[in-house]
Amino acid sequence: MRDLELGEYVEVAPVSLAQAREAAERQAIELALLRHRGRLGDAAHELGIRTSRCTGS
């Protein structure tokens, strides 16, 4: 049988699918913001996220 070299992953605490999805989404958003130098509209466009403009009160 072939070793899949998963030793380091076995030692990691288990996470739920929701937690894994949240972490992946957060990382994708953070990286897009870095690539677009904090420009929310450009990062959102890259990620396919619709944005709404807040007019404030």
Distance of alpha carbon 39 from alpha carbon 46, whole angstroms: 11
Where do the structural domains in the chain lie, given as residue ranges?
16-57
| Predicted confidence (pLDDT) at residue 35 exceeds the cutoff of 70 | yes
pLDDT band at 52 (very low <50, low <70, confident <90, very high): confident
The CA distance from 20 to 18, in Å, is 5
pLDDT by residue (tens digit) across 16-33?
999 999 999 999 999 999
Q: What is the pLDDT of residue 13?
A: 73
Cα–Cα distance, 22 to 1 (Å, whole number):
35
CA 21 to chain centre: 8
Does 55 have pLDDT greater than 60? no
